[in-house]
Amino acid sequence: MTETVGTADLPSYPFPSDSLTPPAEFAERRATCPFGQVRLPSGDPAILLLTYRDVAAAMADTRLSHDLTGPDAPRMTVEPSFLQDPDILLNKDGEDHLRIRRIVASAFTPRRVERWKPVIEQVADELIDALVTAGPPAELVSEYCFALPVRIICRLLGVPERDALRFRVWSNAFSSGAQMTPEETMAQVGAFLGYVAELIAAKRAEPGEDLIDDLIAARDGADRLTEHELLSLVTGLIAVGNETTSTALSRFLAELLNDGRKLWNDLLADPSLVPAAVDELLRYTGLSNSTMLRLAVADVDLPSGRVEAGQAIAIPSNGAMRDPEAYPDPDTIRFDRRAPMPLIFGGGPHYCLGAHLAKAELSIGLGALLRRLPTLRMTVEREELEFSGGEIVDSMIALPAAW
């Protein structure tokens, strides 16, 4: 049984960190208080889960609801927030969630992603060609880490690539990945939604064979999507399709090019290690500093304690991935690690639709840099890298580099 205390008495979360390293409190609480409560930026309380066993069990339990749109549901951030939109896939549960997921899932199967790999390779080489032509130094977040996934999702969906640069600010607002007031965030998200609405209208006028066309057919043909569900789904696919991969790839490079480039040189010596390196770096970097919330709709017994109906749990993406019970020597990057797959893409019915595509982009994007720019190096110290300070996603602002 979890004891509820006054919210004002709870530790404030998220805990301070340097953006690339999980807070020291994670290891301390995992050892001494693995099922304690914290106070979220919104002021709401939540039970913080930090062990691999708790997180794995929570992700698989459908009684821990994704629907956080009710008036009494916990909030991660201060309102107003687009995250309260009931038509966002993230907020769907049960059959309503599966209905929308089935419509879009075929675009992200392993077989379909295999067909996209030559396109990812082509885009990666084009971006590196541009880097080489311009010559060093370069800023890799905007010119490579963000540009690669955003161009891929544009091609997959059928979005004009000339508009890709506009998505960086919009995606940051959508994923709470920048320091904005709630009003500024909503203004940017409103502009994003307006753009997508115009895009859908243009696609209806001149249909093609892209994913957006398939989603429109699901709306206009079988009527399995409402108009607002269609708008929210396309917007979410654009934002999540670039924000998470961009954040992950930039964090990978910050680790690989640090400490005399030892890990980078290991991959240069044996490029076959890249797929294993991607898995290990996803574990180690936690993809981002994001935190997922769930609301118990019934009492749920997890390995470390009971979540009572009406209570919230918070799952930091870079928390359980450092649990020494699941990952011996967790604070060391080891490309030969034999351990459970990271839970970074979630689990259960809400396992990330784009996980296969993201891993392909990360493997190909990293492999292309190793092959084309083997002498790549950061031109600042790891500690000097700047981050957005977003409440949900703390994305890297810039990665200065040369070769």
Which residue has better confidence, 251 or 73? Answer: 251
CATH number for 198: 1.10.630.10
State how many domains the chain has: 1
**Residue 15: inside a domain, yes or no?**
no
What pLDDT, on a 0 to 100 scale, did the predictor assign at position 2?
43
Residues 6+ apart with CB under 8 A from 195: 163, 166, 170
Long-range Cβ contact pairs of 100-107 (< 8 A, separation 24 or more):
100/225, 100/229, 100/233, 101/349, 101/353, 103/214, 103/215, 103/218, 103/224, 103/225, 104/211, 104/214, 104/215, 104/233, 104/237, 104/353, 105/353, 107/156, 107/211, 107/214
291 and 314 Cβ atoms separated by less than 8 Å: yes
What pLDDT, on a 0 to 100 scale, did the predictor assign at position 357?
93
What pLDDT, on a 0 to 100 scale, did the predictor assign at position 250?
96
pLDDT(363) > 70: yes
**Residue 224: inside a domain, yes or no?**
yes
Structure tokens at 1: 């049984």
249 and 366 Cβ atoms separated by less than 8 Å: yes
Q: What is the pLDDT of residues 313-331, one digit of tens each?
A: 999 988 999 999 999 999 9
CA–CA dist 158, 141 (Å, integer)? 23
**Residue 20: inside a domain, yes or no?**
no
**Residue 26: inside a domain, yes or no?**
no
Residue-by-residue DSSP string for 252-272? HHHHHTSGGGHHHHHHHH-GG
**Residue 388: inside a domain, yes or no?**
yes
Task: Write the burial class of residue 262 (CB in 10 Å: 0-12 exposed, 13-18 middle, 19+ buried).
Answer: exposed
Say what percent of the chain tops pLDDT 90.
Answer: 57
The dihedrals phi and psi of 365, each to the nearest 5 degrees, come to -65, -40
305 and 1 Cβ atoms separated by less than 8 Å: yes
**Residue 283: inside a domain, yes or no?**
yes
> What's the whole-model pTM score?
0.91
3-state helix, strand, coil in the chain (%, to 5): 55, 10, 40
pLDDT(290) > 70: yes
Q: What is the pLDDT of residues 254-281, one digit of tens each?
A: 999 999 999 999 999 999 999 999 999 9
Q: Which element (helix H / strand E) includes 170? A: helix 167-174
pLDDT(80) > 60: no
Question: Closest by alpha carbon to 256, among 280, 233, 239, 240?
Answer: 280
Q: What phi-psi label fits residue 70: left (phi over 0), alpha (psi between -120 and 50 degrees) or beta?
A: beta
Which residue has better confidence, 358 or 17? Answer: 358
Q: Where do the H-state alpha helices sit in 178-337? A: 182-205, 211-220, 227-256, 262-269, 274-285
**Residue 121: inside a domain, yes or no?**
yes
**Residue 303: inside a domain, yes or no?**
no
Worst-scoring range by mean pLDDT, 42-51, 151-160, 171-180? 171-180
Residue 252: give the domain boundaries. Answer: 82-287+328-402
